[in-house]
Structure 1
Amino acid sequence: MGAPVVGLTTYREQAAWGVWTERADLLHTAYADAVVAVGGLPLLLPPVDTGDVPGAADVLVARLDALVVTGGADVDPGRYDATPHGRTAGWRPDRDAWELALLAAADDAGLPVLGVCRGMQVMAVAAGGRLEQHVPDRVGHEQHSPGGDAFGDVDVATRPGSRVAGLLGERLTVRCHHHQAVATHPGWDVVAEAADGTPEAMERPGDRFCVAVQWHPETAADVGLLAGLVRAAAGGA
C-alpha cells in the first residue's frame, strides 16, 4: 500500500521569508522530518473554515492513514466554558474549530491519532474535558515551559501495561513547552505523569491507536510514539 500518509495540522500566522511578510500556513520542519524518519509521508493540513466548505474534515480524513494534532497556541477557554486566566492568550478560533472537526471525523473513521502538546489539550476538550490554564499556579515552578523558545526537560513515569509504556518504557525524560495541562478527560486514561502530578500522556482504552502527550516527540530521539502511529496507520498493532 506504500508509505502511510500522516496528516499534520498547522499554524496560521504572520510570517516572513525572502521578500515576503504575509499570513502563512506553517509548521516546524521537525514534525515532517520525524514522520519521514519512521516511514510515513507527511501532509500539512492548514485550517479550513468548515462553514465555507461543509464536510471538509471528512473528505480529508478519508484520504489519510493517520492524523497528528500538533502543538501551538492555547485553546479558547470558551470551548470548555471557562473564563480566561490572565496568562491564557493568543488562542486561534479558526484552528480550534478545524482541529475539533478533524478529530470528530477521525473518530468516525477509526483513524490512528496522535496529539502533541496543544494537541493533547484539544483532544481532551473534544471529549468534553477541561484544562488547567496555568500549571505554575499549582506546581510553583516553570519547568514545563521555561520561556521563550526553550524546552523544559521533564522526567515522566508511564503506567505499566499502557500503550505509551509499551512504546517508550517505564520512565523517560521528555522535552516540554506547555504552561497549561489537561484537568479532566472523559473517556481517556492518564498513562504518564510528571513528578509534580501533571498529566503528561493519555490514551483511549481499546485497540485503536489514540494517544496524546504534552511533550514534543518530534524534537528528540523519542520517535517511538511516531513509529507506533505509523505502524498503526500501516495496519500494524
Structure 2
Amino acid sequence: MSEPLIGVSTYLEPVARWGVWELPAALLPAAYPRMVQRSGGLAALLPPDAPRRAAAAVARLDGLVIAGGADVEPERYGAERDFRTGPPARERDAWELALIRAALESGTPVLGICRGMQLLNVALGGTLVQHLDGHAGPLGATGVLGTHPVIPVPDTLYASIVPEETDVPTYHHQCVERLAPGLVASAHAPDGTIEAVELPGAQWVLGVQWHPEMGDDPRLTQALVTASTTPPVRACTPFADLTPPRTAGA
C-alpha cells in the first residue's frame, strides 16, 4: 500500500524570523506534518492561495487536514465581532473554506483541528461562540496548552476510533454555538462544550476542538490515513453561503 498524500493547511504571517532572515512566511508548527508522517502518510503543506485553485489542489490529495490557528472572522457566520475575538485571517478563511468545499464535493477525507473544526461548522452553516473561558490552557498563561477530559458520543465515528473518555491537549477560546445542519456532535467536554463534530455517512469527515498533534495518541490521524487509502465517497451535503454578508455602505 502506498503512503497517502495528506494536505495540511498553513498560516500566512507578515513577518517570521529564521537565521539572518525576517520575511513574510507560510508556516506551520512541525507537530502537524510529523503527526501525519508518524501515522504513515506523506504530508504536503497548503499555504493560502486563490480559492478558485482549491479544487485542483484537493484533486491531488488523498486526505486533508485543516490546521488550528487564528479565530474565524465573525462576518463569515453573520455575527458582530466580540472585542475578545482576534484579528482576522481573511486569506486563510477564504482558502480553507474553499478547501473544505472541494474536499466535501470530491469525497476526500477531512480532519479539522481546533480552528479547522470551527471552520467546518461555519462552512456548513453553523455559528461560533466567540469567547469561552477555561479552555485556553492554565489561568494567566499564554502559549501553554491545558488538558481536560473528552467524552465520546456512542455510535459515532469518533467513538469508533476512541471509544473511551480521554484527556486531550487543548488551547482555544471559541467553540461551536449553533451546530451546522448535517453535522452531529460526537464528543463533549464535561462542561458540555462540543469537542468533536462529524458528518454522518460514508465520507470520512471529522473535526476535533483539541490539538491531537500535540499529544501522544495517534488514533485519529491513523484513522484519517486509513480512510485516505480507500476510494473517495462524496458527502452530498449542502453548503452555507461562504461569502461574508454585505455591510451598510459596502
Return 83-92 or 224-233, whichever deviates more: 83-92
Determine if the alignment matches structure 1 residue 155 to structure 2 residue 149: yes
SS of 2:103's equivalent in the other structure is: helix
Question: Are 2:190 and 1:195 equivalent residues in the alignment?
Answer: yes
Match of 1:169 among 149, 163, 168: 163
Distance 1:236 1:227, change over 3 A: farther
Q: Does 1:213 align with 2:208?
A: yes
**Mapping of residues 27-46 of structure 1, within 5 Å:** 27-46=28-47
Cα displacement string for residues 23-60 of structure 1 (whole angstroms, at most 9, x for unaligned residues): 1000000111110111000000000023xxxx310111
Q: Greater CA deviation, 98-107 or 159-168?
A: 159-168
Q: Percent identity?
A: 46
Q: 5 Å matches for 1:47-62?
A: 47-50=48-51, 55-62=52-59
- Residue 145 of structure 1 contacts residue 179 of structure 1 at CA under 8 Å; is this kept in 2? no
Query: Is residue 2:82 matched to residue 1:85?
Result: yes
Deviation at 1:236, TM superposition (A): 8.3
- Measured in 2, the distance between the counterparts of 1:133 and 1:198 equals 13
One-letter code aligned to 1:218: E
Output the amino acid matched with 1:131. L
Residue-pair matches, total: 228
Question: CA deviation digits over 1:7-32, x for unaligned, max 9?
Answer: 00000112100101111000000111
1:156 Cα offset (Å):
1.1
* Equivalent in the alignment of 2:248: none
Q: Using the alignment, how far apart are the partners of 2:210 and 2:173 within structure 1?
A: 11
Contiguous gaps of at least 5 residues in structure 2:
233-250
SS in 1 for 2:49: coil
CA contact (8 A) 1:69 1:99 kept: yes
How far the C-alpha of 1:170 sits from its partner, in A, is: 2.4
2:240 aligned with 1:235: no
Q: CA RMSD in A?
A: 1.4
Distance 2:107 2:34 in 1: 25
2:137–2:147 CA contact under 8 A, matched in 1: no
Instruction: For residue 145 of structure 1, report the CA deviation from its aligned partner.
Output: 3.6
Distance 1:144 1:174 in 2: 12
Asked if 1:10 corresponds to 2:5, the answer is no
Indicate whether 1:74 and 2:75 are aligned.
no
Residue 156 of structure 1: SS of its match in structure 2?
A: strand
TM-score normalized by the length of structure 2: 0.88
- The aligned runs of 1:84-103 (5 Å cut-off) are 84-103=81-100
1:161-205: CA deviation from partner (whole Å, max 9, x where unpaired): 111111112200001110000111221100100011110001111
Question: C-alpha distance in 2, partners of 1:161/1:222?
Answer: 21
* Secondary structure at the counterpart of residue 167 of structure 2: strand
Structure 2 Cα separation of the partners of residues 236 and 163 of structure 1: 18
Q: 1: CA distance between counterparts of 2:106 and 2:81?
A: 33
